[in-house]
């Protein structure tokens, strides 16, 4: 309507009105643009503030998760360390007990060997005494009595020798059994230590995977 009314005006007035109208449009556009820019800045500032608040909340949550995970790691490491220490103490006790058994068997074997040596010495001494006594009274005894006594002495020596060999065989078998038991205990200890190491490594890997999964999910 304003443009239609301008057709009936003077040319200079018409030009002035046109310029005034354009100026008003320009001012209105500038004001609208400034208003939109101010609104966009306020909206942007609000979004930035919201994002900063969310970032702070996420940082606090991350810190809380880090503290919780570190505590869990400390508890797991402490439990595994205590279990390893207990197993180590048990292995040391088993080793001491096995060494004591071996020493006990060796002491018994040495004691028996000493006793057999004393018996052999006594037997040899008896043989020497018997030989001396036989040489002294040989003229008084008949050949039959001498052969009977000699046969009896030989039987006694054979019996003593058989007993000695049987005892030695028994102690040797016991010693071999003890050595087999020691070897088995060492093998079980090595296997158990290897199993504990693998279990420890699996536990650490599982914790790492769980932590990675939690971070990735966040």
Is residue 119 assigned to a domain?
Answer: yes
Mean pLDDT of the chain: 80
Is residue 24 assigned to a domain?
Answer: no
With pLDDT > 70 as the criterion, what percentage of the chain qualifies? 88
Q: pTM for this structure?
A: 0.27
Is residue 74 assigned to a domain?
Answer: yes
pLDDT tens digit sequence for 72-117: 767 777 888 888 888 888 888 888 888 888 888 888 888 888 888 8
Is residue 7 assigned to a domain?
Answer: no
Which of 58-67, 132-141, 144-153, 157-166 is predicted least confidently?
132-141
Is residue 22 assigned to a domain?
Answer: no
Which whole number is the average pLDDT over 60-71? 80
Give the pLDDT score at 4.
44
Residue 170's domain spans which residues? 32-210
pLDDT, greater one: 143 or 30: 30
At how many degrees (to 10) do helices 143-217 and 11-137 cross? 180
Give the pLDDT score at 1.
44
Q: Is 65 a residue whose pLDDT tops 80?
A: no
Which whole number is the average pLDDT over 177-181? 87
pLDDT tier, 139 (very low <50, low <70, confident <90, very high otherwise): low
When divided into structural domains, the chain yields a total of: 1
Which whole number is the average pLDDT over 127-134? 79
Which of 26-40, 66-80, 156-170, 204-218 is predicted least confidently?
204-218
pLDDT tier, 142 (very low <50, low <70, confident <90, very high otherwise): low
Q: Residue 92: CA atoms inside 13 Å, Cβ hemisphere, count?
A: 6
Give the pLDDT score at 218.
54
Sign of CA dihedral 182, 183, 188, 193: positive
Is residue 114 assigned to a domain?
Answer: yes
For residues 95 and 41, give the distance between their C-alpha atoms in angstroms, rounded to a whole number: 78
pLDDT tens digit sequence for 153-172: 888 888 888 888 888 888 88
Residue 206 DSSP symbol: H
Is residue 153 assigned to a domain?
Answer: yes
Is residue 48 assigned to a domain?
Answer: yes
For residues 45 and 156, give the distance between their C-alpha atoms in angstroms, rounded to a whole number: 116
Q: Which of 13-22, 117-126, 130-139 reaches the highest mean pLDDT?
A: 117-126
- Terminal-to-terminal C-alpha distance of the chain: 62
Q: Is 54 a residue whose pLDDT tops 60?
A: yes
């Amino acid at each position: 309507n304003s443009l239609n009314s301008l057709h009936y005006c003077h040319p200079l007035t018409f030009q002035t009105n046109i310029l005034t109208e354009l100026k008003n449009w320009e001012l209105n556009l500038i004001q609208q643009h400034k208003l939109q820019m101010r609104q966009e800045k306020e909206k942007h500032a609000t979004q930035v503030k919201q994002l900063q608040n969310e970032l702070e909340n996420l940082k606090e949550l991350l810190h809380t998760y880090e503290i919780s995970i570190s505590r869990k790691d400390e508890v797991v490491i402490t439990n595994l360390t205590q279990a390893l220490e207990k197993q180590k103490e048990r292995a040391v006790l088993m080793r001491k007990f096995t060494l004591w058994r071996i020493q006990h068997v060796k002491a018994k074997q040495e004691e028996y060997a000493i006793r057999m040596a004393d018996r052999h010495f006594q037997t040899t001494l008896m043989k020497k005494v018997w030989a001396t006594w036989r040489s002294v009274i040989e003229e008084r005894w008949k050949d039959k009595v001498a052969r009977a006594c000699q046969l009896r002495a030989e039987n006694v020596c054979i019996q003593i020798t058989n007993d000695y060999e049987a005892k030695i065989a028994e102690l040797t078998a016991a010693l071999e059994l003890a050595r087999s038991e020691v070897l088995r205990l060492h093998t079980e200890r090595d296997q158990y230590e290897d199993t504990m190491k693998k279990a420890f490594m699996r536990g650490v890997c599982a914790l790492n995977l769980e932590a990675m999964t939690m971070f990735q999910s966040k």
